């Protein structure tokens, strides 16, 4: 792949690389700030299936198939249930995120990597802010983040629909070209790239994770988030194409 010109991300003596004024580091939450092998989201997914099954009186297999279908078509199973079945999102979110976080270990190395980045740091998640806050506290990195933009902030319209990205930018990112977005689902990075952000795909080799990865909106691919962040902090920061 051929590098495009370096982005103008000013360095500072303390952090090496910063997103600069008006930008931000924007992170997805689940399967991004903690690795998918920790299996937390497997438990969330099971609870989504169970909720759908009870709501529509479906057996587990039929509920799971509908869950996957709605995820692919609408961005989240929740969105599909709201559109197709007028489901109230609030009890759904409370139920599916009522999971034990013990399987996630505190991560001092992630905390240190986030501190070295400098600049504003945001969470952009299709989950609830309550879930995000619990995960960040468990990881030991809550103090590193300036804001959480959750599914309710986007009026329950999920990534990768463009509307919540526009709202996020209006609230928190006056200069999208000086922002970096990290997500484990490649298609979620397309609207960010369209707004001028630099994108980082945390490689996810599931069918739904890698869909769209070769469509030109992924500027970096990372297999290890912390190692990538450490390299980014060391600079020079370049966008690959």
Start and end residues for every CATH 1.10.150.450 domain found in the chain? 40-101
In a 13 Å sphere around the CA of 167, the CA atoms on its Cβ side amount to 18
H helix runs in the chain, sequence order = 40-56, 60-74, 77-85, 89-96, 108-117, 129-139, 162-172, 190-194, 207-210, 225-234
DSSP three-state, residue 81:
helix
For residue 4, give both structure tokens: 């495009």
Nearest to 157 by CA among 148, 166, 146: 166
| Domain 40-101 class, CATH top level | mainly alpha
Helices 89-96 and 129-139, packing angle to 10 deg: 20
CATH architecture observed for domain 25-34+105-234: 3-Layer(aba) Sandwich (3.40)
CB proximity list for 103: less than 8 A, separation 6 or greater: 38, 39, 40, 43
Start and end residues for every CATH 3.40.50.1000 domain found in the chain? 25-34+105-234
pTM given for the model: 0.87
pLDDT in tens, the chain (241 residues): 223 333 333 332 223 334 666 789 999 999 999 988 768 988 999 999 999 999 999 999 999 999 999 999 999 999 999 999 999 999 999 999 999 999 999 999 999 999 998 789 999 999 999 999 999 999 999 999 999 999 999 999 999 999 999 999 999 999 999 999 999 999 999 999 999 999 999 998 888 889 889 899 999 999 999 999 998 877 655 444 3
């Amino acid at each position: 792949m051929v590098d495009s010109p370096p982005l103008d991300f000013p360095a500072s003596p303390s952090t090496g690389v910063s997103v600069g004024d008006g930008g931000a580091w924007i992170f997805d939450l689940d399967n991004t700030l903690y690795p998918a092998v920790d299996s937390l989201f497997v438990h969330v997914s099971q609870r989504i299936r169970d909720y759908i099954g009870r709501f529509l009186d479906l057996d587990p297999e039929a509920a799971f198939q509908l869950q996957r279908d709605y995820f692919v078509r609408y961005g989240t199973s929740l969105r599909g249930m709201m559109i197709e079945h007028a489901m109230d999102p609030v009890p759904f979110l409370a139920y599916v995120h009522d999971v034990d976080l013990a399987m996630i270990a505190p991560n001092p190395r992630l905390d240190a990597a986030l501190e070295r980045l400098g600049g504003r740091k945001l969470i952009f998640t299709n989950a609830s802010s309550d879930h995000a806050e619990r995960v960040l506290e468990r990881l030991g990195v809550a103090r590193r983040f300036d804001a959480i933009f959750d599914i309710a902030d986007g009026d329950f319209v999920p990534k990768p629909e463009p509307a919540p990205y526009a709202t996020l930018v209006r609230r928190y990112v006056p200069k999208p070209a000086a922002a970096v977005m990290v997500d484990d689902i490649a298609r979620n990075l397309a609207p960010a790239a369209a707004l001028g952000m630099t994108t980082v795909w945390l490689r996810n080799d599931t069918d739904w994770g890698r869909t769209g990865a070769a469509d030109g909106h992924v500027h970096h691919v990372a297999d290890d988030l912390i190692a990538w962040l450490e390299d980014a902090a060391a600079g020079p920061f370049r966008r690959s194409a």
